[in-house]
Structure 1
Amino acid sequence: MSFLDDGVVLYAPTPNSRRQNFTLAHELGHWIVEQDQGLFDWIADQSDPPALLETVCDQIAQRLLLPDDLTNEVVGQSLVRSQHVQDLYDSSQASYQVCAIAISRRIRGLGAVVLIDSRDGLVHHASIQPDPDEGWPEVYPWRGQLVHEGHGLRAFAPGATFTRRITWRDSWGRTEQFYADAIADDRRIIAVLAGDDIWKVEPTYAIQPREFDKRPLLRLHCCDQVHVFRGYPCPDCGQGFCPTCGQCRCTRAAKSEANCRECNSLVRRHLLVDGLCDMCR
């Protein structure tokens, strides 16, 4: 939890773990973004600003904790593989999350590096590399999503390698195809996902064109903050629905106004006394 205006970050320490350095550096990334209005406005103008903000803060943390020279040494000129995440972890003092972020930046085109709990299939971390031309796809892996039992990424044995085309299902049941290169141990599955067949798994197969987020960018002030997000506006008032309370201008007005029981005039609720407006009392 962060209180950026006060310069305070609260966190649960994790002794003998590399994770807490990433946690602190990520929160520092939020503070850095808050200080740079140009960067903040650029994030707000992109598709899916909340996910992009987290990605930017992840990358700030990675740059602070892991030098690019070491990543270049591990990956070299080869295609990105899931083993590179493990090799980078073994060669540094960075956490798996930081290593995943660093490797994701080496993916050519649309892709992601995903860390999945081997025991319950829960995605613990996902670092997205958007398409350089189209931006964020509609379907992509993210923290908290579940890879169900029987999925290919949970069906191969620890210590084995896995490179094939898969179907990814998000939290809303939408699906999309990716190519995956993965390794696993008893605790985690490390998977690199690519939008194109960069590993030449199926030279004669072509994934159908995927959908990218084309919803209009909306901006509104509600719940004591300014929201910038992708969505469709209310057809009546033309305003977006607040991501926090879910209301548009219409629904907010409906909750704040009521009819006088005598003259049926629409007035603010706080101006009614025993159901009567000031003119009818």
Structure 2
Amino acid sequence: MPRFFPDAQTQADAMRAAWAAAGGSTEALTLDAFDVLERRDDLEVLRVPEFVPSDSQLGCSVAGGYRHSPPTLIVTESMSRRRQQFTVLHELGHHLQRTTVSLGKAVLRQQDRSGFEDAACDVFAANILLPDDMVDEASIPFGGPSAQTAVDLFGTSNASRAAISVRMAGRLRGAGAVAVVNDVGIVTFAAARGSIYAPARLSDQSENPLIRAALEDPDPNRVWSRDDARIWYSSGHSTNELYGQAAWAGDRLFVVMVEESAPWRSYSPPRENTALRRTSRWATCDICGKNFEVHRHCLTCSKPKCPADHCGCTAPTLFEKMCDSCTFVKHTSQFSDGSAVCKECE
């Protein structure tokens, strides 16, 4: 859920009401969503080994999909049991929004319809798995959502780290983000609130001082707190310095970062004008589509030159043709000499 949608919680509440109106029990979903959904006559649940079928993929923030006819919730089995519970509830959210008129109208009113629908699905799933009283009980000792709150919720519920991240982000007092990071600093899920964008899934955040400190000393019982955390984006820009906490939950790191009003500090005002910009060592060629490490730049346009000598000066429209197989228009370097079919389709 890369963007924050203020109306997502309202939509999620309406989704719960729609589920109840259809004879569903949210309490039963909390205990075991698969058991409940697989018993229904108006829905199918399909578990697939790895990849979601192409006719069902919605570009979701989860590894699942929704097929409208017949109504089918698709979940990949390669995920943990916790993550599968979050995913099937997320896909149930798509079903409710696609089949309930009032919910569909709410989606249509949004400028970013797909983003809003996906965000509402995340909030709906997280709310089911982590009821308010459970989140309140875990947050009170720390004055609000903290890294230890996330770890405690992971230990006392069957909710996935993704669900916990969404619930925690929704409880932040101001702009901030909650991320799940693996043992080399790669983001596996993130949710945000306010003006801060969540770090992209699969982005490398190991240069974040908070994350780097935790990676260097993976003590399962320690909580790291720093005032110089920051999120890096693909543009090469970062956020301003953020107040952050990090703690391990199994083999993943929970990272909570806020612009101000950190629950674990008595005073935490925002730090303006502390954002950084860096020049990425890697770039993607707009001509041949290859990702390459930057070693040289064009003296004319100053853009990175890829190994095939493409840069910003290269006019792609003069070197394009359509593949007879996939019908995509590609650069001629992606075709073998004299071939009408691109190398990917050969």
TM-score over 0.5 for the pair: yes
Pairs aligned (count): 206
Q: Quote the residue 1:231 is aligned against.
A: none
Q: Quote the residue 1:75 is aligned against.
A: 139
Q: Does 1:176 align with 2:239?
A: yes
CA spacing shift, 1:22–1:103, aligned 2, 3 Å: same
Alignment identity in percent?
Answer: 24
Preserved CA contact (<8 Å) 1:117 1:189: yes
Structure 1: which 5+ runs fail to align?
212-281
SS in structure 2 of the partner of residue 169 of structure 1: coil
**Amino acid across the alignment from 1:63:** N
Task: Please list the CA deviations of residues 105-135 of structure 1 after superposition, one character each: whole Å capped at 9, or x if unmatched.
Answer: 211011221101123x211111222x2xxxx
Q: Does 1:155 align with 2:222?
A: no
Q: Quote the residue 1:279 is aligned against.
A: none
Structure-1-length-normalised TM-score? 0.62
Q: Return the alpha-carbon distance in structure 2 between the equivalents of residues 204 and 12 of structure 1.
A: 41
CA spacing shift, 1:44–1:79, aligned 2, 3 Å: same
Task: Select 1:8's aligned residue among 72, 81, 95.
Answer: 72
Task: Select 1:140's aligned residue among 187, 195, 198.
Answer: 198
- Which residues of 2 match residues 1-281 of structure 1 at below 5 A? 1-14=65-78, 17-36=81-100, 38-40=102-104, 42-43=106-107, 49-76=113-140, 78-119=143-184, 121-129=185-193, 131=194, 136-137=195-196, 139-149=197-207, 151-156=209-214, 157-159=217-219, 160-163=222-225, 164-177=227-240, 178-184=242-248, 187-199=251-263, 206-208=270-272
1:204 is displaced (CA, Å) by: 8.2
**Amino acid across the alignment from 2:140:** G
Q: Return the alpha-carbon distance in structure 1 between the equivalents of residues 104 and 272 of structure 2.
A: 34
SS in structure 2 of the partner of residue 79 of structure 1: coil
Structure-2-length-normalised TM-score? 0.52
Task: Please list the CA deviations of residues 71-126 of structure 1 after superposition, one character each: whole Å capped at 9, or x if unmatched.
Answer: 1111127122111011011111222222222222211011221101123x211111
**Amino acid across the alignment from 1:174:** H
Q: Return the alpha-carbon distance in structure 2 between the equivalents of residues 204 and 100 of structure 1.
A: 22
Task: Please list the CA deviations of residues 201-232 of structure 1 after superposition, one character each: whole Å capped at 9, or x if unmatched.
Answer: 69586422799xxxxxxxxxxxxxxxxxxxxx
**Amino acid across the alignment from 1:11:** V
Task: Please list the CA deviations of residues 8-48 of structure 1 after superposition, one character each: whole Å capped at 9, or x if unmatched.
Answer: 12322258631111111111111222234554554565575
CA spacing shift, 1:147–1:115, aligned 2, 3 Å: same
SS in structure 1 of the partner of residue 88 of structure 2: helix
1:192 is displaced (CA, Å) by: 0.9
Q: Quote the residue 2:331 is aligned against.
A: none
Preserved CA contact (<8 Å) 1:146 1:171: no
1:63 is displaced (CA, Å) by: 1.9
SS in structure 1 of the partner of residue 76 of structure 2: coil
Q: Return the alpha-carbon distance in structure 2 between the equivalents of residues 116 and 83 of structure 1.
A: 15
CA spacing shift, 1:114–1:47, aligned 2, 3 Å: farther
Q: Return the alpha-carbon distance in structure 1 between the equivalents of residues 207 and 270 of structure 2.
A: 27
Preserved CA contact (<8 Å) 2:244 2:257: yes
Preserved CA contact (<8 Å) 1:97 1:125: yes
1:60 is displaced (CA, Å) by: 0.6
Q: Return the alpha-carbon distance in structure 1 between the equivalents of residues 269 and 260 of structure 2.
A: 10
Q: Return the alpha-carbon distance in structure 2 between the equivalents of residues 172 and 105 of structure 1.
A: 26
Quote the RMSD (CA, aligned, Å). Answer: 3.2
1:175 is displaced (CA, Å) by: 1.3
Structure 2: which 5+ runs fail to align?
1-64, 276-346
Q: Return the alpha-carbon distance in structure 2 between the equivalents of residues 115 and 16 of structure 1.
A: 15
